[in-house]
Chain A
Amino acid sequence: MIPEIGQFALIIALCLAIVQGIFPILGAQLNIRPWMAMARPVAQGQFIFIAISFACLMYSFVTDDFSVLYAASHSNSLLPVQYKVAGVWGGHEGSLLLWAMMLGFWTFLVSIFSKNLPDEMVARVIGVLGLIAVGFLLFLLLTSNPFERLLPAAPDGRDLNPLLQDFGLIIHPPMLYMGYVGFSVAFAFAIAALMSGRLDAAWARWSRPWTIVAWSFLAGGIGLGSWWAYYELGWGGWWFWDPVENASLMPWLVGTALIHSLAVTEKRGAFKRWTVLLAIIAFSLSLLGTFLVRSGVITSVHAFATDPERGTFILAFLVVVVVGSLLLYAWRAPKIGQGGKFELMSKETMLLVNNVLLTVIAAAVLLGTIYPIIIEGLASVGVIEATNKVSVGAPYFNAIFVPLLVPLVFLVGLGPLARWKKAEMPDMLRQLRWAFIASAIVAVVVPLLMGGWSWLAALGMVLATWIVTTAAYSIRLRFKATNAALPWGHRLNAIPRSFYGMHLAHIGVAVGIIGGTLVSNYMSDKDVRMDIGDTVEVGGYTFRFDGVIETKGPNYTANRGMIRVLQDGHEVMTLEPEKRVYTVQTMPMTEAAIDTGVWRDLYVSLGEPVSGGAWSVRVYHKPFVSWLWAGVILMALGGITAMSDKRYRLMARKEGKAKNEAGMAVPKIAAEKA
């Protein structure tokens, strides 16, 4: 009964989405008030019905209803309850339902937090979101119905993939989808602007907080995925340039360009067409990601059960959305006008270069990801030999990414300090000479401290130090511009949160670079055969193998290794890596044992048993790896901080302005004149 309710709720949601997609947009176009007014309530209704549907699916999982095919394929009665809940999005159909629900949720939020927006804009934004929802709901109902029945019901389910039976499944997909789907709001704003023909600073101000929040969630989601892969997959890698990882990175890169572009449109009324285009591209890449993961065109550890039929549907949907929006762009963009004038050396130009770099990196990632398809396609029509098929992996992406990162990071330092319209370069560079010097010194010292010279490590340290020192300089400069008569607490408060957010996010980049560079260049590991009592030394620690015991978990049996870790002869900890065999899927799984620290992680994974009670063991010392996750957290926090800037909290705007302008009035005008 419940699954049928779930399916029915989806159908109702689809109907509401159709209404939501058509009437408000027509209403805005033809100025029919009642139609525009439908937007909010219909959107809210749609969300409620999708939520009901989602709840029904979750109910089926939690109550072990194996007459639902999806539940029977991805769950099991022995599965711990938290994984029954998370398992709802562990497969293709359920994760799509999650996507649809996130979309409904974001639309719901837009319907609530848009009181200050003009009605036609709200109507159009919600309308566009409705059209997207129609696409997803149709896809669900026509090709990927999570409520399909299995009759007669299976006696028990096939169990959730053991790799997914982990905390990571509970948090990574929801956060990632919040980000992916969030870009649909930026997209909807862009389409609404194109439809109305009105694209100005006010539009940018409305659009910006939504985009920043989506970007922060996507950053968090990607970081979580990376962390999960790190501890789950058993060898401590954290980024593989896997097609599905790339699918999430591309919209994030373009999203980064977008938030910077929005800043310019908001403050200077410039880049309007670029901003709109970037918003369209960012969401298109989100949809493209959905396609790549579910269509079978690429192989990946992440790929869902693939099906060319589903792939065709998503591709068709992608084509409709992107061609539609790009046609609208080609038609309307010329009318939008160019916006402000600025010099070759200016903050605007630097942000423009920043956007070009980010877009090129995203394009390179796309190229590398689909290149095997290009080659194979050319081979299948006889243009080249089939054996030219190449695989594009980490070496390629790293080779492209690192050189492009350098000018980008250089701009991260310069950009905040440059003036709008016309920047005094020689002056700026002179002011930053200490940043140059500090970066050079750190670049030489740190690699030597870490144990050996490495050009890549030096480069990473130059980049990171550059960001941190220029940020510190910029903050100091801004602080000095506040009213000296006030106490410093007030002075700090007088500086807008968007300023702090920016620097916090940039520092997050620096921290991430430090983590990535140092762990890649100074990681040490040993892959050894250990008899009981054997020791191995890695990274200054001694690891002693004390044998393996057998244990049982709720739905698996395991061999647990006991590894005693000694430092300077004292025992400091015991690490217990496991080799598990899950009852249902009988897949062997490695659970690495990790000791996380600020300066290093110790990582041990159990290999295979070899003759005589010995096991092969892989022991790693990974310096600074936790800085990677810390960096991402800082970036996301930076985004949220920037978004909480007073000018977006419109209720408090008047008051807040009064308090803060008092601290800022005189120096601000003086600075403008300079």
Chain B
Amino acid sequence: MKKFMLVALLCLSFPLSIQVQAKEAEYATGTPEIHNRVMGVSEELRCLVCQGQSLGDSNSEFAVDMRAQIQEMMEGGMSDRQVVEFMVERYGDYVRYRPPFKASTLLLWFGPFILLAVGVAVLYTNVLRRGKQADEAPLTEEQQRHAAALLKQDSGENKA
């Protein structure tokens, strides 16, 4: 949305622009709509030659080529999902930047929440069990006098 607004704004401001000869630089990849879709899909795919970047983030030659090819495929009518599947067919699940949701990744996706549930359950039973503990025995007379003496000693030091 924001990009459309900027482009529109620019078109309006063009007559007022100082640089009459210069033009608004072109997008590196096609029309705004295709560009957004390309970037969207590129962010879901991993750049295989970079460490840990998506195809969208990377500026490596591989990524630039792949984005160009994705653009071609989209301009040829392929949907976002078809493009991703095309890549996965050839490069495997590894090329997905977001791990897929399948049997081999169940532990990955559910693990943290299972752990959370276990942690909370343990916490709950632990705290409840504490509650059933015998209350701490209240201070005996002697202990109370001792405590009072200590406190007095403290405030005594204040005045010193």
A–B contact with Cβ pairs below 8 Å: the answer is yes
Contact, CB under 8 Å: A534 / B23 = yes
Contact, CB under 8 Å: A344 / B131 = yes
**Bound: A610/B95 CA distance, A:** 29
Contacts of B124 in A (CB 8 A): 344
**Bound: A531/B24 CA distance, A:** 10
Contact, CB under 8 Å: A342 / B127 = yes
Contacts of A336 in B (CB 8 A): none
B149 part of interface (Cβ distance < 8 Å): no
Contact, CB under 8 Å: B22 / A393 = no
Beta-carbon contacts of A419-458 to B below 8 Å, as 1s and 0s?
0000000000000000000000000000000011000000
Contact, CB under 8 Å: B97 / A662 = no
> In angstroms, how far is the closest chain B Cβ from the Cβ of A359?
7
Contacts of B150 in A (CB 8 A): none
Contacts of B108 in A (CB 8 A): 367-368, 371, 390, 392, 396
A352 part of interface (Cβ distance < 8 Å): yes
**Bound: A531/B18 CA distance, A:** 16
Residue of A with least CB distance to B100:
A390
Choose among B19, B99, B135 the residue that contacts A533 (Cβ–Cβ < 8 A). B19
B139 part of interface (Cβ distance < 8 Å): no
Contact, CB under 8 Å: A242 / B6 = no
Residue of A with least CB distance to B134:
A341
**Bound: A605/B97 CA distance, A:** 24
Stretch at the interface among A135-143, A473-481, A521-529, A550-558: A521-529
Residue of B with least CB distance to A450:
B2
Choose among A387, A658, A662 the residue that contacts B92 (Cβ–Cβ < 8 A). A387
Choose among B3, B29, B44, B127 the residue that contacts A524 (Cβ–Cβ < 8 A). B3
Contacts of B141 in A (CB 8 A): none
Choose among A367, A384, A544, A665 the residue that contacts B111 (Cβ–Cβ < 8 A). A367
Given contacts A349-B123, A390-B93, A537-B6, contact A235 B57 (CB under 8 A): yes
Q: How many residues of B contact A (CB 8 A)?
A: 63
Contact, CB under 8 Å: B97 / A360 = no
Contact, CB under 8 Å: B127 / A344 = yes
Contacts of B76 in A (CB 8 A): none
Residue of B with least CB distance to A533:
B22
A11 part of interface (Cβ distance < 8 Å): no
**Bound: A338/B135 CA distance, A:** 13
Kindly state the interface size class of chain A when it binds its partner.
35 or more
A297 part of interface (Cβ distance < 8 Å): no
Contacts of A363 in B (CB 8 A): 111-112, 115
**Bound: A395/B108 CA distance, A:** 13
A661 part of interface (Cβ distance < 8 Å): yes
**Bound: A301/B47 CA distance, A:** 13
**Bound: A131/B44 CA distance, A:** 46
Chain A residues with CB under 8 Å of chain B are 234-235, 237, 240-243, 299-301, 338, 340-344, 348-349, 352-353, 356-357, 359-361, 363-364, 367-368, 371, 374-375, 378, 384, 387-396, 399-400, 404, 451-452, 524, 526-531, 533-538, 544-545, 569, 590, 607, 616-618, 654, 657-658, 661-662, 665
**Bound: A240/B102 CA distance, A:** 24
Task: Tell which of B6, B51, B120 has the most Cβ of chain A within 10 Å.
Answer: B51
Residue of B with least CB distance to A300:
B51
Contact, CB under 8 Å: B25 / A536 = yes
Contacts of A242 in B (CB 8 A): 51-52
> In angstroms, how far is the closest chain B Cβ from the Cβ of A50?
32
Choose among A349, A374, A378, A618 the residue that contacts B127 (Cβ–Cβ < 8 A). A349
Contact, CB under 8 Å: A356 / B120 = yes
Contact, CB under 8 Å: B119 / A359 = yes
B136 part of interface (Cβ distance < 8 Å): yes
Contacts of B154 in A (CB 8 A): 657, 661
Contacts of A388 in B (CB 8 A): 93, 102, 104
**Bound: A657/B102 CA distance, A:** 61
> In angstroms, how far is the closest chain B Cβ from the Cβ of A548?
15
Contact, CB under 8 Å: B116 / A658 = no
Contacts of A387 in B (CB 8 A): 92-93
Contacts of A618 in B (CB 8 A): 59
Contacts of B22 in A (CB 8 A): 531, 533-535, 544
Contact, CB under 8 Å: A535 / B2 = no
Contact, CB under 8 Å: A528 / B28 = yes
Jot down 22 A-B pairs with beta carbons below 8 A, ordered by A.
A237-B53, A237-B57, A356-B119, A360-B115, A361-B112, A367-B112, A371-B108, A378-B104, A387-B92, A388-B102, A392-B108, A393-B98, A395-B98, A404-B112, A524-B3, A528-B25, A528-B28, A529-B25, A533-B21, A569-B18, A654-B157, A658-B160
